[in-house]
């Protein structure tokens, strides 16, 4: 039976929880150990008893975010033949988990791969599924990596957009912003219409469309692999 001494003022799990609160309130770049310590009425060096350094804390945050999103509960699909649907739903789950906290994408990206166990576990599961579906080990690895990269990249960009708004109409932002718009004109296109048409799709639909490009590519690659395997 684990007994916690009464004098202990801070619990590592509570610290991680508080850090995520700070994350949501102020963003990743604003998290400081000093601020975190003050939340517990403790001096900054006290945290070093429980965490090796700041990076260590961030990796625990990443793990907590993924776990909170249920990523660690994902399991193999019942039927390997449904690998494409499984992969899609997994990608959705990861995106949802990363979106559940401000800068979630950057936090998890900043954690080293192996420490963010939930993600490492998921990557292995994806490899297993792709392998069972018919990809060789090398391409199972690459396929899983491509899907994970896509989700990360998409969410990071999505969350970057949540930051300070830039209004292209604001004259103070100057020529830098106007530049790409003039390029549209150059090719006889309406920049405003492009942006508007894109926003006719929901964020989920936009995410899904890019994801399906990769899934479709995987299906096609799988057919090709099976064909060349049958040929010899």
Partner DNA sequence: ACCTGAACACCGTTCAAGT
- Residues at the interface with a second copy (CB under 8 A): 109, 112, 114-115, 117, 120-121, 123-125, 127-128, 131, 136-143, 145-146, 149-150, 152-154, 156-157, 166, 176-177, 179-180, 183-184, 187, 189, 193-195, 197-198, 200-201, 206, 209-210, 212-218, 220-221
Q: Is 88 in the site for DNA (CB under 7 A)?
A: no
Provide, rounded to whole angstroms, the least separation between the CB of residue 154 and a second copy. 6
Q: How far apart are alpha carbons 176 and 191 in whole angstroms? A: 15
What is the CB neighbour count within 10 angstroms for residue 166?
11
Cα R_g (the chain), whole angstroms: 22
Give one word for 10, left, alpha or beta, with left for phi > 0 and alpha for psi -120 to 50: beta
> Which region among 47-55, 89-97, 111-119, 205-213 touches DNA (by CB under 7 A)?
47-55
Q: Is 54 in the site for DNA (CB under 7 A)?
A: yes
Q: Which is nearer to DNA, 62 or 218 (CB)?
A: 62
Q: How far apart are alpha carbons 126 and 86 in whole angstroms? A: 9
Question: Which one of a second copy, DNA, none is in contact with 115 (Cβ closer than 5 to 8 A by kind)?
Answer: a second copy
Q: Is 45 in the site for DNA (CB under 7 A)?
A: yes
Question: Which one of DNA, a second copy, none is in contact with 54 (Cβ closer than 5 to 8 A by kind)?
Answer: DNA
What is the CB neighbour count within 10 angstroms for residue 154?
19
What contacts 214, CB < 8 A, 6 or more positions away? Answer: 146, 147, 150
Q: Report residue 32 as tokens.
A: 């400081």
Q: Report residue 161 as tokens.
A: 């957009």
Report the residue from 2, 34, 227, 232 that binds DNA according to the rule CB under 7 A. 34
Provide, rounded to whole angstroms, the least separation between the CB of residue 6 and a second copy. 30
């Amino acid at each position: 039976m684990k007994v916690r001494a009464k004098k202990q003022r801070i619990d590592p799990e509570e610290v991680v929880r508080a850090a995520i609160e700070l994350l949501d309130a102020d963003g990743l770049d604003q998290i400081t150990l000093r601020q975190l310590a003050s939340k517990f009425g403790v001096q900054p060096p006290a945290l070093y008893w429980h965490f090796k350094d700041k990076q260590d804390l961030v990796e625990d945050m990443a793990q907590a975010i993924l776990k909170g999103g249920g990523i660690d509960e994902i399991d193999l699909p019942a039927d390997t033949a449904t690998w494409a649907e499984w992969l899609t739903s997994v990608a959705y789950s990861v995106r949802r988990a990363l979106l559940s906290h401000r800068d979630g994408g950057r936090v998890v990206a900043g954690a080293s791969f192996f420490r963010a166990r939930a993600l490492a576990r998921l990557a292995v599961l994806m490899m297993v599924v792709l392998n069972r579906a018919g990809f060789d080990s090398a391409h199972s690895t690459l396929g899983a990596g491509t899907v994970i990269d896509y989700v990360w990249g998409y969410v990071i960009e999505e969350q970057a957009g949540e930051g300070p708004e830039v209004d292209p109409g604001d004259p103070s932002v100057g020529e830098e912003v106007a530049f790409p718009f003039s390029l549209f004109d150059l090719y006889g296109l309406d920049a405003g219409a492009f942006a508007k048409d894109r926003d006719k799709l929901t964020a989920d639909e936009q995410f899904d469309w890019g994801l399906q490009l990769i899934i479709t590519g995987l299906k096609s690659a799988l057919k090709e692999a099976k064909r060349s395997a049958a040929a010899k």
